[in-house]
């Protein structure tokens, strides 16, 4: 699916979320949530996911 996305549309989406930071909203998550990251995931490396997981409610 990502491979069939037009490059211009993909670039526009990346630009739209480039400065998005939802970490302040993490404490409102009350549902049990499984947070998974991969060692080779450049978008959300394990140390970022650890911060996300520990700040969620």
Q: Is there a domain that residue 51 lies in?
A: yes
Q: Is residue 19 part of a domain?
A: no
Quote the CA–CA distance of 4 and 10 in Å, as a whole number.
Answer: 10
pLDDT tens, residue by residue, 11-40: 999 999 999 988 899 888 888 888 888 888
Position with higher pLDDT, 8 vs 45: 8
Overall residue count recorded for the chain in this entry = 57
Cα separation, 41 vs 31, whole angstroms:
25
* pLDDT for res 38: 85
User: Is 49 inside a domain boundary?
Assistant: yes
For residue 48, which phi and psi values (nearest 5 degrees)?
Answer: -70, -45
User: In total, how many domains does the chain have?
Assistant: 1
| CA distance linking residue 14 with residue 8, whole number of Å | 10
Q: Is residue 45 part of a domain?
A: yes
Assigned domain for 2 exists: no
Structural domain for 33, as ranges: 24-57
Q: What is the CA radius of gyration of the chain?
A: 14
Q: Is the pLDDT of residue 42 over 80?
A: yes
């Amino acid at each position: 699916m990502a491979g069939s996305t037009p490059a211009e549309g993909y670039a526009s989406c990346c630009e739209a979320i480039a400065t998005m930071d939802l970490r302040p909203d993490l404490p409102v998550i009350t549902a049990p949530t499984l947070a998974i990251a991969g060692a080779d995931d450049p978008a959300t490396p394990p140390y970022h996911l650890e911060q996300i997981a520990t700040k969620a409610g």
